[in-house]
Amino acid sequence: MTGYAAPVQDMRFALEEVAGLAELAGLPGWDQAEPDLIASVLEEAGKLARDVIAPINRSGDIEGARLENGIVRMPRGFREAYAQFIAGGWNGLPFAEDIGGQNLPWAVSCAVQEIWQAANLSFGQYPLLTQGAIEALSRHGSPEQKKLYLSKMVAGVWNGTMNLTEPQAGTDLGALRTRAVRADGHYRITGQKIFITNGDTDLTENTIHLVLARLPDAPAGVKGISLFVVPKLMVEADGRMGSRNDLRVVSLEHKLGIRASPTCVMSYGDNGGAVGTLVGEEGRGLEYMFTMMNNARLSVGIQGVAMGERAYQQARAYARSRVQSRELGSRDVAPAAIIRHPDVRRMLMTMKAQTEASRALAYYAASALDRAKALPDAAGRARAQATADLLIPVVKAWSTDLGFEIASTGVQIHGGMGFIEETGAAQHLRDARITMIYEGTSGIQANDLLGRKLMRDKGVAAAGAIAQFRTTADRLATGPGDDLATIRRHLIAGIDTLERATAWLIQTWGDDVRRASAGATPYLRMMGIVAGGWVMAISALAATERLKRRNGDAAFLEAKLITARFYAEHILSQANALLTPIMEGGGTVMALDEDQF
Residues 78 and 163 grouped into a single domain: no
Residues 62 and 42 grouped into a single domain: yes
**Which of these three, 155, 189, 214, is where a domain ends?**
155
- pLDDT tens for 137-184 read 999 999 999 999 999 999 999 999 999 999 988 777 778 899 999 998
**Does a structural domain hold residue 415?**
no
Q: What pLDDT shows up at residue 514?
A: 95
Residues 166 and 282 grouped into a single domain: yes
**Does a structural domain hold residue 596?**
no
What is this structure's pTM? 0.97
User: What is 11-40 written as a DSSP string?
Assistant: HHHIIIIIS-HHHHHTSTT-TT--HHHHHH
pLDDT bucket at 594, cuts 50 / 70 / 90: very high
**Does a structural domain hold residue 255?**
yes
**Does a structural domain hold residue 370?**
no
Q: What pLDDT shows up at residue 175?
A: 80
Region label for 72, one of left (φ > 0), alpha (ψ between -120 and 50) or beta (otherwise) = beta
**Which of these three, 286, 320, 336, is where a domain ends?**
286
**Which of these three, 258, 286, 314, is where a domain ends?**
286
- pLDDT tens for 539-561 read 999 999 999 999 999 999 999 99
Q: What pLDDT shows up at residue 478?
A: 82
From CA 582, how far away is CA 578, in angstroms rounded?
A: 6
**Does a structural domain hold residue 325?**
no
Residues 106 and 167 grouped into a single domain: no
Q: For residue 300, give Cα distances in angstroms to 1, 173, 449.
A: 23, 20, 16
pLDDT bucket at 295, cuts 50 / 70 / 90: confident
- Pair 190, 268: CB distance under 8 Å: yes
Residues 164 and 151 grouped into a single domain: no
Domain that holds residue 188: 159-286
Q: String of b and e for 408-444 (b: at least 16 CB within 10 Å)?
A: bbbbebbeeebeeeebbbbbbbbbbbbbbebbbbbbb
**Does a structural domain hold residue 179?**
yes
CATH number at residue 124: 1.10.540.10
**Does a structural domain hold residue 58?**
yes
Residues 96 and 37 grouped into a single domain: yes
Residues 216 and 89 grouped into a single domain: no
Residues 138 and 165 grouped into a single domain: no
Mean pLDDT of the chain: 96
Residues 135 and 168 grouped into a single domain: no
Residues 151 and 227 grouped into a single domain: no
- pLDDT tens for 213-245 read 999 999 988 888 999 999 999 999 999 999 999
Give percent of the chain with pLDDT exceeding 70: 100
**Does a structural domain hold residue 129?**
yes
pLDDT bucket at 480, cuts 50 / 70 / 90: confident
CATH number at residue 245: 2.40.110.20
Classify 271 as helix, strand or coil.
Answer: coil
Q: How many domains does the chain have?
A: 3
Residue 479 pLDDT > 90, yes or no? no
Residues 565 and 458 grouped into a single domain: yes
Residues 69 and 28 grouped into a single domain: yes
Please list the active-site residues.
439
From CA 571, how far away is CA 494, in angstroms rounded?
A: 10
- pLDDT tens for 389-444 read 999 999 999 999 999 999 999 999 999 999 999 999 999 999 999 999 999 999 99
pLDDT bucket at 38, cuts 50 / 70 / 90: very high
Residue 52 pLDDT > 90, yes or no? yes
